[in-house]
Amino acid sequence: MIPRTVFNEEHEQFRDSVRKFLEKEVAPHHAQWEKEGQVDRALWNKAGEMGFLCPQAPEAYGGLELDFGYNAIVDEEIGRTGFTGIGWGLHSDIAVPYIVNYGTDEQKDKYLRRCISGEIVTAIAMTEPGAGSDLQGVRTTAVRDGGDYILNGSKTFITNGQHADLVIVVAKTDPAAGAAGTSLLLVEADSPGFKKGTNLDKVGMKAQDTSELFFDDVRVPAGNLLGAEGQGFIYLMQELPQERLSVAISAIANAEAALGWTVDYVKERKAFGRPVASFQNTQFKLAELASECTAMRVFIDRCLELHYDRQLDVATAAKAKLLSTDFQCKLLDECVQLHGGYGYMWEYPIARAWADARVQRIYAGTNEIMKLIISREMLKDG
């Protein structure tokens, strides 16, 4: 074992309380929530009471102003347990940081306390039916009309879409200006004209309320513009390394846990009168996966350490997301194989993890887009 150096004693105490909470409040219900397509809304409020939401939020707005290690611990514990219905990572690591980093004092005062308490669930709506990887192709528009913007368009695949009370919407305020005409708006879910569509029927992550959202002449007060008009694309680029690190952290935590479940399984399961663990193929597979897990863990921890010091660059975050999620999917596939037919049964955590993990290579920027980012950095002049 290579000892981890990214967490201190307080972090580990926090981990202990997250772990106990998940065991008590989530484990008994997650399978039912998968059938219902979403977690119980009250889970968010309970998590808020426990201080699990938005650990980095400033003290001035009721937050604990902790380091990103606390977010990482929540991500790891959810990754380790496979409770993928819980959208706290999207809320704490991705959406709320936009308000913290680009919001006005008024916006922070209005929303942050309730984001921390779980009274407000957030989402971020970039993707549209016709625009995913190519965000410059967003067609949702926000046209200024007096003191408001009039928002029209539709979004799809939005995490926390059903529970969301506040959505950061990526819209064109100047469609002719391309990326420079993109802005971010804070849209409250009860705004007239804002409709939540279908809770999408996915291959995995079945308790996650990934949804369509529709905006039909929604009046958004100009005061709900996040940051400056036309700067939305730049803000998205600035926030993406943390989003990708968060995905990488959950990927390696899930991979490590799945390997552990598989070790337990192959020791128990017998074929040809001997434990599956006694076959050399099993031993070699486990050894290969464990070696890769160790290397991946060291790399992702180093990225986390860099992120503590705000030194994690865009290309390195892309490498972390690319490698960790490709590896997670490869490991889970091998682990399903070692489980035989049981590995394909939904009641086995390994089957769920295999299905849940597939999207890790798709969202937060597909792994092909990660390769574009990495190679662009390598090939740039100067």
Ligand X SMILES: Cc1cc2nc3c(=O)[nH]c(=O)nc-3n(C[C@H](O)[C@H](O)[C@H](O)COP(=O)(O)OP(=O)(O)OC[C@H]3O[C@@H](n4cnc5c(N)ncnc54)[C@H](O)[C@@H]3O)c2cc1C
Under rule CB under 6 A, residue 362 binds ligand X? yes
**Taking Cα atoms as reference points, which of 249, 255, 251 lies closest to residue 334?**
255
Q: Which of 243, 268, 292, 347 is catalytic?
A: 243
Angle at 342 between CA 341 and CA 344, to 5 degrees: 70
282: contact with ligand X by CB under 6 A: no
38: left (phi over 0), alpha (psi -120 to 50) or beta: beta
Q: Which residues between 76 and 115 bind ligand X (CB under 6 A)?
A: 90
- Return the number of the residue (231 or 366) whose C-beta is nearest ligand X: 366
Residue 362 CA to residue 297 CA, distance in Å, equals 21
Nearest to 171 by CA among 130, 143, 142, 146: 142
Residue 331 or 359 having the CB closest to ligand X: 359
**Region near ligand X per CB under 6 A, out of 37-45, 48-56, 337-345, 358-366:** 358-366
Torsion of CA 20, 82, 85, 47, to 10 degrees: 20
| Residue 106 annotated to the active site | no
Nearest to 209 by CA among 164, 245, 174, 169: 164
Q: Which of 37, 55, 63, 132 binds ligand X (CB under 6 A)?
A: 132
38 lies in the binding site for ligand X (CB under 6 A): no
Q: Is 133 in the site for ligand X (CB under 6 A)?
A: yes
Q: By CB under 6 A, which span of 2-10, 59-67, 118-126, 333-341 interacts with ligand X?
A: 118-126
Structure tokens of 88? 């706290």
Please measure the distance between the N-terminal and C-terminal CA atoms of the chain and give it in whole angstroms. 40
Span interacting with ligand X, options 154-162, 237-245, 256-264, 289-297, rule CB under 6 A? 154-162
Give yes or no for a contact between 314 and 240, defined as CB atoms under 8 angstroms apart.
yes
Task: Among 72, 158, 252, 286, indicate the residue that binds ligand X (CB under 6 A).
Answer: 158
Tokens of 30: 């997650």
Q: Which of 7, 157, 215, 265 binds ligand X (CB under 6 A)?
A: 157
Count of CB atoms situated within 10 Å of the CB of 285: 18
Chain position whose Cβ is nearest to ligand X: 132
**Distance of closest approach, residue 346 Cβ to ligand X, in angstroms:** 18
If the CB atoms of residues 211 and 224 are measured against ligand X, the closer one turns out to be 211
Determine which residue in the list 127, 254, 282, 316 makes contact with ligand X, applying CB under 6 A.
127
Asked if 357 is part of the footprint of ligand X (rule: CB under 6 A), the reply reads: no
Calpha distance 308→327 (Å, rounded):
24
- Output 73 or 123, the one with its CB closest to ligand X: 123
Q: Other CB atoms closer than 10 Å to residue 146's CB: what's the count?
A: 8
**Gap between the Cα atoms of 201 and 196, Å rounded:** 15
Whole-number Å distance between alpha carbons of 382 and 110 = 45
Pairing of strands 211-221, 148-158: antiparallel
Q: Report, in Å, the least distance between residue 90 CB and ligand X.
A: 6
Applying CB under 6 A, the span of 42-50, 106-114, 124-132, 282-290 interacting with ligand X comes to 124-132
Could you tell me if 326 and 367 are in contact, meaning their C-beta atoms sit under 8 angstroms apart? yes
Task: Note whether 375 binds ligand X by CB under 6 A.
Answer: no
Q: What does the per-residue mask of binding to ligand X show for 210-229, with x meaning CB under 6 A?
A: x-------------------
Which residues form the interface with ligand X (CB under 6 A)?
90, 123-127, 132-133, 157-159, 202, 205, 210, 359, 362-363, 365-366, 368-369, 372
* Catalytic positions, written as ranges: 243
